[in-house]
């Protein structure tokens, strides 16, 4: 009887010690990501930390990690399924993301919002990192799209040379097309707006958002609800057909 009790006691002690070791290593990984400390991250991963374990970050940690970024705090304050890769992607830490993936991080594990790491990278303004985190076309690195709001123009480049160009209509006042860096994350030959009930053929979605490039009415001035309308069907079709998923897009 004594031996049985001793074994139960000792087993409980060792189990608790093992759980404490796991918590310690996980804490190492969390601190390493929030502090961008790759030494801590490498040590935690080398000691068997699960790169897909969910993080539980305090509001203070979130504010510090996001450097006061209200969007970062908003998206993660009540997040219950964020993984190290998702946090690193939202912070734009490409080297850390690569390290996590090498140790088995799942690129397609979803957060409570239903988003994967690539979506966070895209939404937080890191399109090149986002491109590396989802199934983009390897040819996308040879292409880019430049959209000029002032001139109302769109140009598709391949290997630095203009391939297709045309006139566009961007968002009218109050629905301004947001400037910035994006990437093409989806293509739909035929699409209809669920909000405005209008056809949007040759649709190229930008950074998993509601905005995109598509054929549409162009009155020669900004007139859309935020999307980029390409007036001529031939131009819209050519851009749609020749733009690979993962192509970087600059709007300025």
Q: What is the pLDDT of residue 6?
A: 43
pLDDT tens sequence across 211-234: 999 999 999 999 999 999 999 999
What pLDDT sits at residue 79? 86
The backbone torsions φ and ψ at residue 214, rounded to the nearest 5 degrees and listed phi first, read -160, 165
Fill in the DSSP letter of residue 249. E
Show me where the domains of the chain are located: 2-126, 138-251
Cα distances (angstroms) measured from residue 187 to each of 6, 23, 190, 222: 64, 43, 9, 23
CB 243 within 8 A of CB 184: yes
Same fold, 2-126 and 138-251: no
d(CA 186, CA 208): 7
Question: What residue ranges of the chain have pLDDT lower than 70?
Answer: 1-14, 67-68, 194-197
- d(CA 245, CA 145) in angstroms, rounded, equals 12
Q: Which two tokens stand for residue 181?
A: 């860096």
**Does residue 143 contact residue 243 with C-beta atoms inside 8 Å?**
yes
Give the single-character DSSP code of 250.
E
| Whole-number pLDDT of residue 33 | 87
- The pair phi, psi for residue 83, each rounded to 5°, is -100, 165
pTM (2 d.p.): 0.83
The answer to whether the beta carbons of residues 86 and 30 sit under 8 Å apart is no
Number of Cβ within 10 Å of residue 61's Cβ equals 16
CB atoms within 10 A of CB 159: 9
Domain 2-126, second-level architecture: Alpha Horseshoe (1.25)
User: pLDDT tens-digit profile of 78-103?
Assistant: 888 999 999 999 999 999 999 999 99
How high is the pLDDT of residue 210? 87
Arch. (CATH architecture) of 138-251: Beta Barrel (2.40)
Distances (CA, A) of 118 to 84, 94, 176: 13, 11, 25
């Amino acid at each position: 009887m004594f031996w049985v009790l001793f074994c139960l006691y000792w087993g409980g002690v060792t189990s608790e010690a093992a759980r404490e070791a796991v918590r310690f290593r996980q804490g190492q990984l969390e601190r390493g990501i929030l502090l961008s400390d790759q030494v801590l991250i490498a040590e935690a991963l080398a000691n068997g930390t699960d790169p897909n374990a969910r993080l539980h970050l305090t509001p203070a940690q979130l504010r510090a990690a996001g450097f006061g970024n209200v969007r970062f705090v908003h998206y993660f304050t009540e997040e219950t399924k964020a993984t190290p890769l998702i946090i690193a992607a939202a912070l734009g830490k490409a080297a850390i993301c690569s390290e996590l993936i090498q140790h088995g991080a799942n690129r397609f594990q979803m957060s409570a919002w239903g988003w994967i790491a690539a979506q966070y990278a895209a939404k937080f303004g890191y399109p090149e990192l986002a491109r590396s985190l989802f199934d983009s076309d390897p040819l996308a690195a040879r292409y880019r799209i430049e959209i000029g709001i002032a001139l109302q123009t769109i140009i598709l480049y391949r290997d630095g040379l203009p391939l297709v160009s045309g006139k566009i209509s961007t968002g009218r006042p109050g629905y301004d097309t947001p400037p910035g860096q994006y990437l093409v994350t989806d293509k739909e030959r035929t699409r209809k707006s669920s909000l405005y009930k209008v056809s949007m053929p040759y649709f190229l979605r930008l950074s998993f958002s509601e905005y995109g490039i598509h054929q549409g009415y162009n009155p020669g001035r900004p007139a859309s609800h935020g999307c980029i309308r390409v007036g001529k069907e031939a131009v819209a079709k050519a851009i749609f057909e020749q733009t690979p998923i993962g192509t970087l897009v600059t709007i300025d």
